Amino acid sequence: MSSRKTRSFFLWPLVASACFLLSVAFFPNNPYKVTPQKDLDQREDPKQKLTSHNSTKVKMGCDFSKGKWVPDSGGPAYTNATCRTLMESKDCLKYGKDTDYLNWRWKPNGCELPRFEARMFLDIVRGKRMAFAGDSVARNQLESLLCLLSEVETPLDVDKDAEDKFRTWYFKSYDFTVMKLWTRFLVEETERMINGSASGVFDLHLDRINTKWTEKLPLINYLVISDSHWFFRKNYLYEGGKLIGCTFCSEANLTDLGINYAVQRAFRTALKYLSKCEKCEGLLTFLRTFTPAHFENGTWNSGGDCKRIRPANEGDVSFSGTDWELRNAQVEEVKKLQVEKPKGAKHFMLLDVTRAMTMRPDAHPGSHWNNKWMGGYNDCLHWCLPGPIDMWNELLFALLKEDTP
Ligand SMILES: *[C@@H]1O[C@H](CO)[C@@H](O)[C@H](O)[C@H]1NC(C)=O
Ligand SMILES: *[C@@H]1O[C@H](CO)[C@@H](O)[C@H](O)[C@H]1NC(C)=O
Ligand SMILES: *[C@@H]1O[C@H](CO)[C@@H](O)[C@H](O)[C@H]1NC(C)=O
Ligand SMILES: *[C@@H]1O[C@H](CO)[C@@H](O)[C@H](O)[C@H]1NC(C)=O
Ligand SMILES: *[C@@H]1O[C@H](CO)[C@@H](O)[C@H](O)[C@H]1NC(C)=O
């Protein structure tokens, strides 16, 4: 079974010209432990669907989250020549990655995931605003979307703050706005300072929303929220203003409540806020579930790498352990809202990509990125562009189509 050893996680701001946040994880948990397929199927009500409401447009029996990667020779939807916003750090082909990882397509069991159609996507979101709230993996999905849409139009880079935490792109001919709302934890955070320098340890108020990202919400029609990687570190947890425990800690007088507890509470707080938010009329929220890192033969800072060149088969991957508990906690929080949904309430949907991405150890940059700044480290956490992360937006597209009259 997977090691229960503390996983620590680092996300460093990339300074100067590079304009994004980089994260690299230390994941001793090896997803390649073959375990019996003890499974979510047993825990989940099969009647519950990915989406919250009844529609005839997409086959409702289809669960996009389960399936396999099948060979596909269609080629990538974009390249670094057609996508002018493609970030250097995700341009894996430029840095020598073999193209094999591109020749696969996600095939859900019993149905097809429609291919992304940029023009139809833009028609659906014409005049609307979409935001991605979360960490650098959320940003990774946003960048994928910009590239997928670049087939039709390159967006204007209209606004960004000094640290590139909040940034806005605009597709002029469709009056469509895409925003990045940076948040490490969704909830209120304060980094502990030790001798005047940042410690990487945070005080988290699990029951208080972080208003830095929510203050942008009144303008937003579609929100994709995610997060979790920053929770893999020592943090102090508060509820009701009181210190109630910590994570990745060993302190005599304090309980280690576990990362799952912290993540679930943070998402509960965020979703509750969204469901009650009076200024967020008509908001449709997608929760993108946790995706694992795939460091092997070491950790992020001890030479760990991700050199596999093929997707994993379902049977070779363990769908248990911390990654799955986090995903299940996120799903549980969304399903609670779907069940309770009173008339006129806001919609919540899942982009449940955990299973699909657990099977893609071959799709991270690894050593194939411009890691001058972090010389020698491999990125087995983020995802190459183009690549299977584009599937997250195909899923978003399928659900948006379904939701749009
Ligand atoms: C969905 O709507 C159709 C047509 O209105 C109805 O026949 C069907 O029972 C509904 N399905 C569910 C699961 O509510
Ligand atoms: C685009 O990628 C190719 C490799 O696929 C590389 O040779 C080229 O330098 C890249 N172009 C830019 C502008 O980064
Ligand atoms: C803070 O600085 C003081 C004086 O330089 C030093 O003695 C102490 O160990 C430092 N504390 C930590 C936690 O680094
Ligand atoms: C726990 O113990 C440490 C060191 O003994 C102390 O600094 C801290 O304030 C204590 N925390 C609580 C909640 O009592
Ligand atoms: C791990 O190390 C072994 C032995 O050096 C090597 O054969 C294998 O390819 C490595 N795996 C990865 C994913 O790098």
- 262-283: pLDDT as tens digits: 999 999 999 999 999 999 888 9
Domains in the chain, number: 1
Distance in Å, CA 297 to ligand 5 centroid? 6
Question: Does residue 135 contact residue 230 with C-beta atoms inside 8 Å?
Answer: yes
Average pLDDT value for the chain? 84
Examine residue 357 and state whether it is found in any structural domain, yes or no.
yes
Examine residue 144 and state whether it is found in any structural domain, yes or no.
yes
Question: Does residue 377 contact residue 300 with C-beta atoms inside 8 Å?
Answer: yes
- Sheet containing strand 284-288, strands side by side: 156-160, 166-171, 176-182, 129-134, 222-225, 284-288, 347-351
Mean pLDDT of the region 38-56: 35
Q: Which ligand is nearest to the CA of 364?
A: 5
Examine residue 4 and state whether it is found in any structural domain, yes or no.
no
Q: What is the pLDDT of residue 373?
A: 65
- Cβ(158) – ligand 4 distance below 6 Å: no
50, pLDDT greater than 60? no
User: Ligand 3, atom 6: nearest CA belongs to which residue?
Assistant: 195
Examine residue 126 and state whether it is found in any structural domain, yes or no.
yes
Q: Could you confirm whether 382 is annotated as catalytic?
A: yes
Helix or strand or coil: residue 358?
helix
CA distance readout (Å), 397 to 115, 237, 324: 9, 36, 25
19, pLDDT greater than 60? no
Mean pLDDT of the region 210-219: 94
Q: What angle do CA 322, 199, 191 make, to 5 degrees?
A: 80
Question: Does residue 355 contact residue 319 with C-beta atoms inside 8 Å?
Answer: yes
Distance in Å, CA 197 to ligand 3 centroid? 11
Q: Could you confirm whether 379 is annotated as catalytic?
A: yes
Span 121-175, pLDDT tens digits? 999 999 999 999 999 999 999 999 999 999 999 999 999 998 899 999 999 999 9
Between 201 and 19, the more confident residue is 201
Residue in 192, 194, 195, 201 to alter for ligand 3 test, most ligand atoms within 8 A of Cβ: 195
- In this prediction the pTM is 0.83
Examine residue 359 and state whether it is found in any structural domain, yes or no.
yes
Examine residue 3 and state whether it is found in any structural domain, yes or no.
no
Examine residue 2 and state whether it is found in any structural domain, yes or no.
no
Examine residue 147 and state whether it is found in any structural domain, yes or no.
yes
Residue 76 is part of which domain span? 9-403
Residue 56 pairs with which residues in a beta bridge?
Answer: none
- Cβ(243) – ligand 4 distance below 6 Å: yes
CB neighbours of 178 closer than 8 A, spacing ≥ 6? 129, 130, 131, 132, 142, 145, 146, 155, 168, 169, 170, 171
DSSP 211-249: HHHHTTGGG-SEEEE---GGGSS-EEEEETTEEEEEES-
Predicted confidence band of residue 344 (pLDDT cuts 50, 70, 90):
low
CB neighbours of 92 closer than 8 A, spacing ≥ 6? 365, 366, 368, 369, 384, 385, 387
Q: Could you confirm whether 8 is annotated as catalytic?
A: no
Q: What is the pLDDT of residue 16?
A: 25
Q: What share of the chain is helix, strand, coil (3-state, %, to 5)?
A: 25, 25, 50
41, pLDDT greater than 80? no
What is the domain-level CATH number for residue 304? 3.40.50.1110
Of 2, 52, 65, 136, the catalytic one is 136
197-209 vs 235-239, strand pairing mode: parallel
